[in-house]
Amino acid sequence: MIEATQCRLRPLETTDVEVFYHWLQDRDVTRYSVTQFTKPQSKGALIQWLASINEQRNAVSLGIECKHSNRLIGYAGLVGISDINHSAEYFILIGDKQYWGRGIATEVTRMVTQYGFSSLNLHRVELTAFTTNPAAQRAYEKAGFQHEGVLRQSGYRDGAYHDKVMMAALANEWNNDQ
């Protein structure tokens, strides 16, 4: 378990299915999330996904718990972990909307990135964010990620193509005290 000021990170469990199912019914929550969450899923499919998530090779997925309530409020992690390139892609979903805008995404981004650098020997952690999601971009900037460019019309949401920004943090530039 990894802890910080507001939250802790823990392995996901199949018992988390009800919370995930609730989040996935809310289009505000899933609007910018990974493709698998843009379409409704059954509880059975979610249970299968949760049962296999901790066994994924080249990925780390962790539940985000609020320290004062001990509630699961989201999940985050690294995918596409490359032993050759020492790199990975970061992701986060804060499913409980009452925790939006509280700095949790910044805190979790720092925690997972630090874990990638110190425990997984990564050199680069990258991410993409929709240009229509400025709150996410601000959270990543505060966490220490740098803008690298724009991926034109690389995401399809709400009936239109949207640009995404590419951002990254490098181990040799990383300052976890930001």
What average pLDDT score do residues 65-75 get? 90
10 Å Cβ neighbour count for 93?
Answer: 20
Is residue 28 pLDDT above 70, yes or no?
Answer: yes
Which residue bears the tokens 């040799």? 172
* Cβ contact 77:61 at 8 Å: yes
pLDDT at 55 over 90: no
**Encoding tokens for residue 77?**
């992690």
Output the six-digit token pair for 132.
């229509």
pLDDT of residue 63: 95
CATH topology of domain 2-173: Aminopeptidase (3.40.630)
> What is the reported pTM?
0.90
Residue 172: partners with Cβ closer than 8 Å, 6 or more residues away: 123
pLDDT of residue 43: 86
Residue 36 has pLDDT above 70, yes or no: no
CA 85 to CA 121: how far, in whole Å? 10
Q: Which residue has the tokens 């720092």?
A: 110
Report residue 60 as tokens.
């780390």
147: amino acid identity, one letter: H
> What's the pLDDT tens digit per position in 125-172?
999 999 999 999 999 999 999 999 999 999 888 889 999 999 999 999
Q: Give pLDDT tens digits for 71-114.
A: 999 999 999 999 999 999 999 999 888 999 999 999 999 999 99
What is the structure's pLDDT at 35? 57
Q: How confident is the model at residue 49 (pLDDT cuts 50, 70, 90)?
A: confident
Q: Where are the domains of the chain?
A: 2-173
At residue 70, the pLDDT reads 87
DSSP 79: E
Q: Quick check: 178 pLDDT over 70? A: no
User: pLDDT at position 37, please?
Assistant: 60
